Structure 1
Amino acid sequence: MKIICVGDNVVDCYLDQQTYYPGGNAINVAVNCRRFGATEAAYMGIFGDDSEADHIKWVLTQEGVSYHGSRVISAASGHPQVSLTADGDRVFIGGPQDTAQHIVRIRLTGQDIAYIRGFDVCHSSCYSGIEPELASLSEATNVSFDFSTRHEPDYIDQVAPHLRYAFFSGSHLEMAELEEIVETCHSYNVEVVGITRGSEGAFFSKSGKHFMQPVKSAFNVVDTMGAGDSFIAAFLTHYVDGVPITEALDIAATKAAWTCGFFGGIGYPRPFEG
Protein backbone atom coordinates (compact mmCIF):
# COMPACT_ATOMS: atom_id res chain seq x y z
CA MET A 1 0.00 0.00 0.00
CA LYS A 2 1.23 3.47 -0.95
CA ILE A 3 -0.26 6.38 0.95
CA ILE A 4 0.17 10.14 0.93
CA CYS A 5 -1.16 12.27 3.78
CA VAL A 6 -1.99 15.87 2.90
CA GLY A 7 -2.58 18.32 5.71
CA ASP A 8 -1.50 19.40 9.14
CA ASN A 9 1.84 19.32 10.90
CA VAL A 10 2.22 20.69 14.44
CA VAL A 11 4.16 20.21 17.63
CA ASP A 12 2.06 19.12 20.60
CA CYS A 13 3.34 21.05 23.62
CA TYR A 14 3.03 19.07 26.85
CA LEU A 15 2.90 21.77 29.50
CA ASP A 16 3.54 19.42 32.42
CA GLN A 17 6.73 18.12 30.76
CA GLN A 18 7.88 21.38 29.11
CA THR A 19 8.36 19.16 26.08
CA TYR A 20 6.97 19.13 22.57
CA TYR A 21 6.34 16.19 20.25
CA PRO A 22 5.80 16.25 16.47
CA GLY A 23 2.21 15.57 15.54
CA GLY A 24 -0.87 16.43 13.57
CA ASN A 25 -3.24 13.87 12.10
CA ALA A 26 -1.55 13.82 8.68
CA ILE A 27 1.95 13.42 10.15
CA ASN A 28 0.85 10.73 12.61
CA VAL A 29 -0.98 8.68 9.98
CA ALA A 30 1.88 8.91 7.46
CA VAL A 31 4.54 7.85 9.97
CA ASN A 32 2.45 5.04 11.39
CA CYS A 33 1.52 3.68 7.96
CA ARG A 34 5.23 3.43 7.20
CA ARG A 35 5.89 1.76 10.55
CA PHE A 36 3.06 -0.71 10.00
CA GLY A 37 4.18 -1.92 6.59
CA ALA A 38 3.20 0.56 3.87
CA THR A 39 5.59 0.21 0.94
CA GLU A 40 5.62 3.99 0.60
CA ALA A 41 4.32 6.78 2.83
CA ALA A 42 4.56 10.47 2.01
CA TYR A 43 3.44 13.75 3.52
CA MET A 44 2.48 17.02 1.83
CA GLY A 45 1.64 20.17 3.74
CA ILE A 46 2.75 23.62 4.81
CA PHE A 47 5.73 23.93 7.14
CA GLY A 48 6.70 26.94 9.19
CA ASP A 49 10.27 28.20 9.10
CA ASP A 50 11.22 27.59 12.74
CA SER A 51 13.27 24.96 14.56
CA GLU A 52 10.11 22.98 15.32
CA ALA A 53 9.45 22.55 11.60
CA ASP A 54 13.05 21.45 11.15
CA HIS A 55 12.50 18.82 13.84
CA ILE A 56 9.33 17.54 12.13
CA LYS A 57 11.18 17.22 8.81
CA TRP A 58 14.05 15.40 10.52
CA VAL A 59 11.60 12.94 12.10
CA LEU A 60 9.94 12.27 8.75
CA THR A 61 13.34 11.53 7.24
CA GLN A 62 14.20 9.15 10.09
CA GLU A 63 10.92 7.31 9.52
CA GLY A 64 11.32 7.03 5.76
CA VAL A 65 8.45 9.41 4.96
CA SER A 66 8.99 11.80 2.05
CA TYR A 67 7.70 15.37 2.24
CA HIS A 68 8.17 16.14 -1.45
CA GLY A 69 5.94 18.97 -2.66
CA SER A 70 5.44 20.52 0.78
CA ARG A 71 5.54 24.30 1.10
CA VAL A 72 7.43 26.49 3.59
CA ILE A 73 6.17 29.88 4.75
CA SER A 74 7.52 32.54 7.08
CA ALA A 75 5.52 31.65 10.17
CA ALA A 76 5.71 29.54 13.30
CA SER A 77 4.65 25.90 13.35
CA GLY A 78 1.34 25.07 14.99
CA HIS A 79 1.79 24.83 18.78
CA PRO A 80 -1.32 23.25 20.32
CA GLN A 81 -0.96 23.13 24.09
CA VAL A 82 -1.70 19.91 25.92
CA SER A 83 -2.58 19.64 29.61
CA LEU A 84 -2.89 16.67 31.95
CA THR A 85 -6.25 16.24 33.70
CA ALA A 86 -6.76 14.92 37.23
CA ASP A 87 -7.81 11.58 35.69
CA GLY A 88 -4.57 11.32 33.72
CA ASP A 89 -6.07 12.14 30.32
CA ARG A 90 -4.42 14.62 27.97
CA VAL A 91 -6.57 17.42 26.60
CA PHE A 92 -5.90 20.25 24.16
CA ILE A 93 -6.30 23.67 25.76
CA GLY A 94 -5.60 25.87 22.74
CA GLY A 95 -2.52 27.58 21.39
CA PRO A 96 -1.38 30.52 19.24
CA GLN A 97 -3.60 31.38 16.26
CA ASP A 98 -0.98 33.08 14.04
CA THR A 99 0.85 29.93 12.98
CA ALA A 100 1.37 28.27 9.60
CA GLN A 101 -1.59 26.00 10.34
CA HIS A 102 -3.94 28.95 10.76
CA ILE A 103 -2.91 31.52 8.18
CA VAL A 104 -2.35 29.47 5.00
CA ARG A 105 -4.44 26.79 3.30
CA ILE A 106 -2.72 24.44 0.84
CA ARG A 107 -3.80 24.80 -2.80
CA LEU A 108 -2.94 21.84 -4.98
CA THR A 109 -1.46 22.36 -8.43
CA GLY A 110 -1.73 20.10 -11.44
CA GLN A 111 1.76 18.87 -10.65
CA ASP A 112 0.67 18.01 -7.11
CA ILE A 113 -2.33 16.06 -8.38
CA ALA A 114 -0.16 14.15 -10.85
CA TYR A 115 2.16 13.18 -7.99
CA ILE A 116 -0.73 12.17 -5.71
CA ARG A 117 -2.16 9.99 -8.50
CA GLY A 118 0.75 7.60 -7.92
CA PHE A 119 -0.57 6.62 -4.47
CA ASP A 120 -3.27 4.11 -3.55
CA VAL A 121 -4.78 6.39 -0.91
CA CYS A 122 -4.65 10.06 0.04
CA HIS A 123 -5.51 10.72 3.69
CA SER A 124 -6.49 14.06 5.21
CA SER A 125 -8.68 15.42 7.98
CA CYS A 126 -10.92 18.20 9.24
CA TYR A 127 -7.81 19.88 10.70
CA SER A 128 -6.18 20.48 7.34
CA GLY A 129 -8.36 23.00 5.48
CA ILE A 130 -8.39 20.59 2.55
CA GLU A 131 -12.12 20.72 1.78
CA PRO A 132 -11.84 22.85 -1.43
CA GLU A 133 -9.34 20.33 -2.83
CA LEU A 134 -11.29 17.13 -2.15
CA ALA A 135 -12.96 16.99 -5.56
CA SER A 136 -9.59 17.09 -7.33
CA LEU A 137 -8.11 14.57 -4.90
CA SER A 138 -10.97 12.12 -5.41
CA GLU A 139 -10.38 12.19 -9.17
CA ALA A 140 -6.71 11.31 -8.60
CA THR A 141 -6.99 8.48 -6.05
CA ASN A 142 -9.06 7.03 -3.21
CA VAL A 143 -9.51 9.54 -0.38
CA SER A 144 -9.54 8.79 3.34
CA PHE A 145 -10.73 11.47 5.76
CA ASP A 146 -10.78 11.83 9.53
CA PHE A 147 -13.78 13.91 10.66
CA SER A 148 -12.72 13.61 14.33
CA THR A 149 -15.76 14.88 16.31
CA ARG A 150 -17.23 16.84 13.39
CA HIS A 151 -20.46 15.09 12.51
CA GLU A 152 -22.70 18.02 11.59
CA PRO A 153 -24.95 16.95 8.69
CA ASP A 154 -23.93 19.92 6.53
CA TYR A 155 -20.24 19.11 6.94
CA ILE A 156 -20.72 15.42 6.16
CA ASP A 157 -22.75 16.41 3.08
CA GLN A 158 -19.87 18.63 1.95
CA VAL A 159 -17.08 16.11 2.45
CA ALA A 160 -18.47 12.58 2.12
CA PRO A 161 -19.19 12.64 -1.65
CA HIS A 162 -15.43 12.66 -2.28
CA LEU A 163 -14.42 9.81 0.04
CA ARG A 164 -13.72 6.08 -0.05
CA TYR A 165 -12.94 5.85 3.68
CA ALA A 166 -14.46 8.00 6.46
CA PHE A 167 -13.43 7.99 10.12
CA PHE A 168 -15.07 9.66 13.10
CA SER A 169 -14.58 9.92 16.86
CA GLY A 170 -17.89 9.17 18.54
CA SER A 171 -17.46 8.14 22.16
CA HIS A 172 -20.08 10.75 23.11
CA LEU A 173 -22.69 9.55 20.63
CA GLU A 174 -25.61 7.15 21.02
CA MET A 175 -25.90 4.12 18.74
CA ALA A 176 -28.76 5.70 16.79
CA GLU A 177 -26.52 8.68 16.03
CA LEU A 178 -23.71 6.38 14.91
CA GLU A 179 -26.02 4.52 12.58
CA GLU A 180 -27.28 7.79 11.10
CA ILE A 181 -23.70 8.90 10.35
CA VAL A 182 -22.96 5.55 8.72
CA GLU A 183 -26.11 5.60 6.60
CA THR A 184 -25.44 9.15 5.43
CA CYS A 185 -21.88 8.35 4.40
CA HIS A 186 -22.91 5.18 2.59
CA SER A 187 -25.55 7.18 0.71
CA TYR A 188 -22.60 9.03 -0.86
CA ASN A 189 -20.93 5.71 -1.79
CA VAL A 190 -18.33 5.82 0.99
CA GLU A 191 -17.14 2.20 1.14
CA VAL A 192 -15.90 2.06 4.75
CA VAL A 193 -17.14 4.19 7.65
CA GLY A 194 -15.38 3.80 11.00
CA ILE A 195 -16.29 5.38 14.32
CA THR A 196 -13.96 4.95 17.30
CA ARG A 197 -15.71 5.06 20.67
CA GLY A 198 -12.98 5.16 23.32
CA SER A 199 -13.35 2.34 25.82
CA GLU A 200 -16.37 1.04 23.87
CA GLY A 201 -14.16 0.04 20.96
CA ALA A 202 -14.90 0.83 17.32
CA PHE A 203 -18.03 0.60 15.19
CA PHE A 204 -17.33 0.04 11.48
CA SER A 205 -19.47 -0.48 8.43
CA LYS A 206 -18.40 -1.75 5.04
CA SER A 207 -21.04 -1.18 2.38
CA GLY A 208 -23.73 -1.47 5.05
CA LYS A 209 -22.38 -4.55 6.86
CA HIS A 210 -21.56 -3.68 10.47
CA PHE A 211 -18.55 -4.72 12.57
CA MET A 212 -17.68 -4.14 16.23
CA GLN A 213 -14.04 -4.09 17.34
CA PRO A 214 -13.28 -4.19 21.10
CA VAL A 215 -10.36 -2.23 22.53
CA LYS A 216 -7.13 -4.06 23.25
CA SER A 217 -5.38 -3.79 26.62
CA ALA A 218 -2.08 -1.93 26.66
CA PHE A 219 0.71 -3.26 28.86
CA ASN A 220 1.85 0.15 30.04
CA VAL A 221 -0.43 3.09 29.30
CA VAL A 222 1.43 6.39 29.61
CA ASP A 223 -0.29 8.57 26.98
CA THR A 224 -3.32 8.15 24.72
CA MET A 225 -2.19 10.87 22.29
CA GLY A 226 -2.30 9.63 18.71
CA ALA A 227 -4.00 6.31 19.45
CA GLY A 228 -6.84 7.12 17.06
CA ASP A 229 -4.42 8.11 14.31
CA SER A 230 -2.53 4.87 14.88
CA PHE A 231 -5.80 2.93 14.57
CA ILE A 232 -6.58 4.60 11.23
CA ALA A 233 -3.06 4.03 9.93
CA ALA A 234 -2.98 0.35 10.83
CA PHE A 235 -6.44 -0.24 9.42
CA LEU A 236 -5.68 1.45 6.09
CA THR A 237 -2.28 -0.20 5.72
CA HIS A 238 -3.74 -3.68 6.01
CA TYR A 239 -7.24 -3.27 4.57
CA VAL A 240 -6.04 -1.55 1.39
CA ASP A 241 -3.55 -4.40 0.91
CA GLY A 242 -6.43 -6.88 0.89
CA VAL A 243 -6.54 -8.05 4.51
CA PRO A 244 -10.15 -8.94 5.51
CA ILE A 245 -11.83 -6.14 7.43
CA THR A 246 -12.18 -8.11 10.66
CA GLU A 247 -8.47 -8.91 10.70
CA ALA A 248 -7.54 -5.33 9.76
CA LEU A 249 -9.65 -4.03 12.65
CA ASP A 250 -8.03 -6.43 15.09
CA ILE A 251 -4.56 -5.30 14.00
CA ALA A 252 -5.63 -1.67 14.26
CA ALA A 253 -6.81 -2.12 17.84
CA THR A 254 -3.50 -3.77 18.75
CA LYS A 255 -1.48 -0.91 17.23
CA ALA A 256 -3.63 1.73 18.95
CA ALA A 257 -2.93 0.06 22.31
CA TRP A 258 0.79 -0.03 21.49
CA THR A 259 0.79 3.70 20.80
CA CYS A 260 -0.45 4.35 24.35
CA GLY A 261 2.87 2.99 25.66
CA PHE A 262 4.95 6.09 24.80
CA PHE A 263 4.54 9.86 24.97
CA GLY A 264 3.39 11.85 21.96
CA GLY A 265 1.64 10.66 18.83
CA ILE A 266 4.86 9.23 17.33
CA GLY A 267 7.48 9.99 19.99
CA TYR A 268 10.58 12.14 19.33
CA PRO A 269 10.42 14.62 22.24
CA ARG A 270 12.17 17.99 22.34
CA PRO A 271 12.27 20.42 25.31
CA PHE A 272 10.80 23.89 25.03
CA GLU A 273 10.96 27.00 27.19
CA GLY A 274 8.07 29.10 28.44
Structure 2
Amino acid sequence: MTVQNADRDSIRHGKITEKPLRERPSFPTWAIKLTMAITGLLFALFVLGHMVGNLKLFMPATDGVPALDSYGEFLRTIGYPLFPREGFLWIIRIVLLVAIVLHFYGAFALHGRSKRSRGKFKRTNLMGGLQSSAARYMLVTGVILLLFIIFHLLDLTIGAGVASASFEAGAVHNNMLATFAPERWWVTLIYVIANLALFLHLTHGIYLAVSDLGWLGKRGHAIMVILAYWLPAIVVIGNIILPLSITFGLVS
Protein backbone atom coordinates (compact mmCIF):
# COMPACT_ATOMS: atom_id res chain seq x y z
CA MET A 1 0.00 0.00 0.00
CA THR A 2 1.31 3.42 -0.92
CA VAL A 3 1.84 5.77 2.01
CA GLN A 4 0.94 9.35 1.20
CA ASN A 5 3.41 12.03 2.36
CA ALA A 6 5.95 9.41 3.46
CA ASP A 7 9.09 10.50 5.26
CA ARG A 8 11.42 10.12 2.25
CA ASP A 9 14.49 10.99 4.34
CA SER A 10 13.85 8.00 6.57
CA ILE A 11 13.18 5.75 3.59
CA ARG A 12 16.41 6.90 1.89
CA HIS A 13 18.44 5.95 4.97
CA GLY A 14 16.72 2.61 5.38
CA LYS A 15 14.58 3.62 8.34
CA ILE A 16 10.99 2.48 8.78
CA THR A 17 8.52 5.29 9.24
CA GLU A 18 6.18 4.94 12.21
CA LYS A 19 3.56 7.22 10.75
CA PRO A 20 0.12 5.49 10.57
CA LEU A 21 -1.39 4.91 7.14
CA ARG A 22 -4.50 6.82 8.21
CA GLU A 23 -5.86 8.57 11.27
CA ARG A 24 -7.67 6.41 13.81
CA PRO A 25 -11.43 7.01 13.33
CA SER A 26 -13.52 8.22 16.24
CA PHE A 27 -15.81 5.19 15.85
CA PRO A 28 -14.28 1.85 14.80
CA THR A 29 -15.55 0.36 11.57
CA TRP A 30 -16.70 -2.85 13.25
CA ALA A 31 -18.94 -0.85 15.62
CA ILE A 32 -20.53 1.07 12.74
CA LYS A 33 -21.12 -2.15 10.80
CA LEU A 34 -22.68 -3.76 13.86
CA THR A 35 -24.95 -0.74 14.36
CA MET A 36 -26.01 -0.78 10.72
CA ALA A 37 -26.69 -4.53 10.86
CA ILE A 38 -28.91 -4.22 13.94
CA THR A 39 -30.80 -1.13 12.72
CA GLY A 40 -31.16 -2.67 9.24
CA LEU A 41 -32.73 -5.86 10.59
CA LEU A 42 -34.97 -3.70 12.81
CA PHE A 43 -36.23 -1.90 9.70
CA ALA A 44 -36.73 -5.22 7.88
CA LEU A 45 -38.91 -6.53 10.72
CA PHE A 46 -40.82 -3.23 10.83
CA VAL A 47 -41.65 -3.15 7.11
CA LEU A 48 -42.72 -6.80 7.30
CA GLY A 49 -45.08 -6.09 10.20
CA HIS A 50 -46.28 -2.87 8.54
CA MET A 51 -47.11 -4.76 5.35
CA VAL A 52 -49.00 -7.51 7.19
CA GLY A 53 -51.02 -4.93 9.11
CA ASN A 54 -51.92 -2.96 5.97
CA LEU A 55 -53.19 -6.12 4.27
CA LYS A 56 -56.18 -5.86 6.63
CA LEU A 57 -57.50 -3.54 3.94
CA PHE A 58 -58.81 -6.71 2.24
CA MET A 59 -60.54 -8.05 5.38
CA PRO A 60 -64.27 -7.50 5.98
CA ALA A 61 -65.53 -4.86 8.39
CA THR A 62 -66.70 -5.79 11.89
CA ASP A 63 -69.85 -4.03 13.15
CA GLY A 64 -69.41 -1.48 10.39
CA VAL A 65 -65.80 -0.68 11.39
CA PRO A 66 -63.22 -1.43 8.66
CA ALA A 67 -60.57 -3.94 9.73
CA LEU A 68 -57.83 -1.44 8.90
CA ASP A 69 -59.37 1.15 11.23
CA SER A 70 -59.57 -1.43 14.03
CA TYR A 71 -55.90 -2.24 13.45
CA GLY A 72 -55.01 1.48 13.59
CA GLU A 73 -56.89 1.85 16.88
CA PHE A 74 -55.08 -1.20 18.25
CA LEU A 75 -51.71 0.44 17.49
CA ARG A 76 -52.77 3.63 19.26
CA THR A 77 -53.87 1.75 22.40
CA ILE A 78 -50.99 -0.73 22.82
CA GLY A 79 -50.09 -0.94 26.52
CA TYR A 80 -53.04 1.20 27.65
CA PRO A 81 -53.61 2.07 30.48
CA LEU A 82 -50.03 1.30 31.55
CA PHE A 83 -48.97 3.71 28.80
CA PRO A 84 -51.04 6.75 27.82
CA ARG A 85 -52.97 6.55 24.56
CA GLU A 86 -50.47 6.46 21.66
CA GLY A 87 -47.66 6.37 24.23
CA PHE A 88 -46.22 3.03 23.13
CA LEU A 89 -46.70 4.04 19.49
CA TRP A 90 -44.54 7.13 20.09
CA ILE A 91 -41.87 4.97 21.72
CA ILE A 92 -41.77 2.89 18.52
CA ARG A 93 -41.57 6.05 16.41
CA ILE A 94 -38.69 7.48 18.47
CA VAL A 95 -36.77 4.19 18.33
CA LEU A 96 -37.22 4.07 14.54
CA LEU A 97 -36.15 7.72 14.18
CA VAL A 98 -32.95 7.11 16.18
CA ALA A 99 -32.31 3.96 14.15
CA ILE A 100 -32.69 5.92 10.88
CA VAL A 101 -30.19 8.57 12.03
CA LEU A 102 -27.67 5.92 13.11
CA HIS A 103 -28.19 3.92 9.92
CA PHE A 104 -27.62 6.88 7.62
CA TYR A 105 -24.63 8.13 9.59
CA GLY A 106 -23.11 4.65 9.36
CA ALA A 107 -23.82 4.36 5.64
CA PHE A 108 -22.10 7.62 4.72
CA ALA A 109 -19.25 7.06 7.19
CA LEU A 110 -18.46 3.61 5.77
CA HIS A 111 -18.83 4.87 2.20
CA GLY A 112 -16.34 7.66 2.88
CA ARG A 113 -13.82 5.34 4.54
CA SER A 114 -14.11 2.80 1.74
CA LYS A 115 -13.63 5.48 -0.90
CA ARG A 116 -10.54 6.87 0.83
CA SER A 117 -9.04 3.39 1.20
CA ARG A 118 -9.60 2.41 -2.43
CA GLY A 119 -8.43 5.68 -3.88
CA LYS A 120 -8.65 5.55 -7.67
CA PHE A 121 -9.16 1.78 -7.70
CA LYS A 122 -12.71 0.48 -8.04
CA ARG A 123 -14.08 -2.93 -7.10
CA THR A 124 -16.91 -4.02 -9.39
CA ASN A 125 -19.12 -7.11 -9.75
CA LEU A 126 -17.36 -8.96 -6.92
CA MET A 127 -20.54 -10.69 -5.76
CA GLY A 128 -22.16 -11.17 -9.15
CA GLY A 129 -25.82 -11.04 -10.15
CA LEU A 130 -28.44 -9.04 -8.31
CA GLN A 131 -26.28 -8.56 -5.22
CA SER A 132 -23.70 -6.56 -7.20
CA SER A 133 -26.38 -4.26 -8.63
CA ALA A 134 -28.00 -3.83 -5.22
CA ALA A 135 -24.61 -3.11 -3.60
CA ARG A 136 -23.73 -0.51 -6.24
CA TYR A 137 -26.92 1.47 -5.61
CA MET A 138 -27.25 1.08 -1.82
CA LEU A 139 -26.74 4.80 -1.13
CA VAL A 140 -29.08 5.79 -3.96
CA THR A 141 -31.86 3.45 -2.84
CA GLY A 142 -31.29 4.56 0.75
CA VAL A 143 -31.83 8.22 -0.13
CA ILE A 144 -34.92 7.30 -2.19
CA LEU A 145 -36.34 5.44 0.80
CA LEU A 146 -35.63 8.36 3.15
CA LEU A 147 -37.49 10.75 0.83
CA PHE A 148 -40.31 8.22 0.54
CA ILE A 149 -40.62 7.90 4.33
CA ILE A 150 -41.10 11.66 4.56
CA PHE A 151 -43.66 11.53 1.73
CA HIS A 152 -45.48 8.60 3.35
CA LEU A 153 -45.70 10.34 6.73
CA LEU A 154 -47.10 13.50 5.15
CA ASP A 155 -49.52 11.48 3.05
CA LEU A 156 -51.02 8.97 5.48
CA THR A 157 -49.88 9.92 9.01
CA ILE A 158 -49.74 13.72 9.29
CA GLY A 159 -52.13 14.54 6.44
CA ALA A 160 -50.25 17.58 5.16
CA GLY A 161 -48.89 18.76 1.82
CA VAL A 162 -49.20 15.77 -0.48
CA ALA A 163 -52.13 14.19 1.41
CA SER A 164 -55.57 13.96 -0.18
CA ALA A 165 -58.06 16.75 0.48
CA SER A 166 -60.33 14.34 2.39
CA PHE A 167 -57.68 13.19 4.88
CA GLU A 168 -59.09 12.53 8.35
CA ALA A 169 -56.91 11.57 11.33
CA GLY A 170 -57.59 8.01 12.46
CA ALA A 171 -59.66 7.05 9.41
CA VAL A 172 -56.96 4.75 8.02
CA HIS A 173 -59.21 2.85 5.60
CA ASN A 174 -60.78 5.92 3.99
CA ASN A 175 -57.45 7.79 3.90
CA MET A 176 -55.87 4.92 2.00
CA LEU A 177 -58.76 4.79 -0.49
CA ALA A 178 -58.54 8.55 -0.99
CA THR A 179 -54.78 8.77 -1.49
CA PHE A 180 -54.68 5.94 -4.06
CA ALA A 181 -57.78 7.07 -5.95
CA PRO A 182 -57.47 6.75 -9.75
CA GLU A 183 -57.09 10.52 -10.20
CA ARG A 184 -54.06 10.39 -7.88
CA TRP A 185 -52.28 7.79 -10.02
CA TRP A 186 -48.97 9.60 -9.47
CA VAL A 187 -49.08 8.70 -5.77
CA THR A 188 -49.45 5.03 -6.67
CA LEU A 189 -46.51 5.36 -9.06
CA ILE A 190 -44.36 6.87 -6.29
CA TYR A 191 -45.22 3.95 -3.98
CA VAL A 192 -44.39 1.39 -6.66
CA ILE A 193 -41.01 3.00 -7.45
CA ALA A 194 -40.18 3.34 -3.74
CA ASN A 195 -40.97 -0.33 -3.13
CA LEU A 196 -38.73 -1.42 -6.00
CA ALA A 197 -35.95 0.59 -4.33
CA LEU A 198 -36.91 -1.10 -1.05
CA PHE A 199 -36.44 -4.53 -2.63
CA LEU A 200 -32.92 -3.70 -3.83
CA HIS A 201 -32.00 -2.14 -0.50
CA LEU A 202 -33.40 -4.97 1.60
CA THR A 203 -31.98 -7.82 -0.43
CA HIS A 204 -28.40 -6.58 -0.06
CA GLY A 205 -28.92 -5.06 3.38
CA ILE A 206 -30.17 -8.30 4.93
CA TYR A 207 -27.34 -10.22 3.28
CA LEU A 208 -24.75 -7.84 4.74
CA ALA A 209 -26.43 -7.72 8.15
CA VAL A 210 -26.55 -11.49 8.57
CA SER A 211 -22.96 -11.75 7.31
CA ASP A 212 -21.65 -8.98 9.60
CA LEU A 213 -23.40 -10.53 12.60
CA GLY A 214 -21.65 -13.81 11.89
CA TRP A 215 -24.78 -15.83 11.12
CA LEU A 216 -23.45 -17.23 7.84
CA GLY A 217 -22.22 -20.67 8.76
CA LYS A 218 -21.74 -23.70 6.57
CA ARG A 219 -25.47 -24.28 6.37
CA GLY A 220 -26.36 -20.61 6.24
CA HIS A 221 -26.64 -20.22 2.48
CA ALA A 222 -30.14 -21.71 2.21
CA ILE A 223 -31.38 -19.52 5.05
CA MET A 224 -29.75 -16.50 3.40
CA VAL A 225 -31.68 -17.13 0.16
CA ILE A 226 -34.92 -17.02 2.15
CA LEU A 227 -33.97 -13.96 4.18
CA ALA A 228 -32.28 -11.88 1.50
CA TYR A 229 -34.51 -12.68 -1.47
CA TRP A 230 -37.87 -14.11 -0.45
CA LEU A 231 -38.52 -11.84 2.53
CA PRO A 232 -37.96 -8.58 0.57
CA ALA A 233 -39.96 -10.00 -2.35
CA ILE A 234 -42.94 -10.84 -0.09
CA VAL A 235 -42.82 -7.41 1.58
CA VAL A 236 -42.61 -5.50 -1.71
CA ILE A 237 -45.32 -7.54 -3.46
CA GLY A 238 -47.64 -7.03 -0.49
CA ASN A 239 -46.92 -3.29 -0.43
CA ILE A 240 -47.48 -2.87 -4.17
CA ILE A 241 -50.73 -4.87 -4.26
CA LEU A 242 -52.36 -2.40 -1.88
CA PRO A 243 -52.16 0.84 -3.95
CA LEU A 244 -52.67 -0.96 -7.27
CA SER A 245 -55.84 -2.68 -6.01
CA ILE A 246 -57.33 0.68 -5.01
CA THR A 247 -56.20 2.59 -8.10
CA PHE A 248 -57.69 -0.03 -10.44
CA GLY A 249 -60.96 -0.20 -8.49
CA LEU A 250 -60.56 -3.68 -7.00
CA VAL A 251 -61.14 -2.32 -3.45
CA SER A 252 -63.72 0.25 -2.46
Q: Larger relative contact order (C-alpha < 8 A, sep ≥ 6)? A: 2
Bigger fraction of residues in helix: 2
Q: TM-score, normalised by structure 2?
A: 0.27
Structure number with the higher strand fraction is 1
Structure number with bigger Rg: 2
Q: TM-score, normalised by structure 1?
A: 0.26
